[in-house]
Amino acid sequence: MSDTIAREQALDAPAAVLVALRRIMRAIDLHSHQLVQQLGVTGPQLIVLHELARGGAVPVSVLAKAVSLSHATVTGITARLERRGLVRRRHDETDRRRVLVEVTSTGRELLATAPLPIQDSFLREFGRLAEWERHLILSSLQRVVAMMEATELDAAPILATGPIDDDGGKAIRTGRA
């Protein structure tokens, strides 16, 4: 048994819960910080890039639905990615009124070196649990949310710190407008 787990077991239950919550928050924050430091993109930006690489050129509305974010949020994310040369917007060849977003070769190069989004490893491990364990975790987390009076907060299924549609000035800028 690791020293960390032994110390946690010595704590009373409320303190152990707070330590576990803090570890989750720190893991998300550290992953987000590493993405920005190593690649100059945020977690949500990386998720959008992955989706575009997987799905090809799509309208923002389709992309927004695929990543479970609002149209406005994805518009902001794609604008930042476009300024970096990681995605481009183009008119649909069959319907010039439609604007499609697609990943560029520079975006694909970035993805080739990028780690997977933090939720991918969580979802992989979560999927390996028995159904009753998944329901237990969901129920417990929903209860924690209620205990923290956070049931009315809007949240996307993306593990990232800060606002989803903002890079907080942390992502690398190219100097282009």
Residues 67, 77: one domain? yes
- pLDDT over 90 percentage in the chain: 42
Residues 107 and 46 reside in one and the same domain: yes
Residue 117: partners with Cβ closer than 8 Å, 6 or more residues away: 43, 46, 47, 50, 158, 159
User: Do 64 and 79 reside in the same domain of the chain?
Assistant: yes
- Look at residues 78, 52, 60, 74 and name the one whose alpha carbon lies nearest to residue 158: 74
The domain tally of the chain equals 3
State the pTM of this model.
0.73
Residue 132 in domain:
yes
d(CA 149, CA 173): 37
Report pLDDT digits (tens) over 83-139.
Answer: 999 999 998 788 888 889 999 999 999 999 998 888 888 999 999 999 999 999 999
Q: Are residues 95 and 31 in the same domain?
A: no
Q: Are residues 105 and 126 in the same domain?
A: no
* Full residue range of the structural domain in which residue 134 is found: 116-152
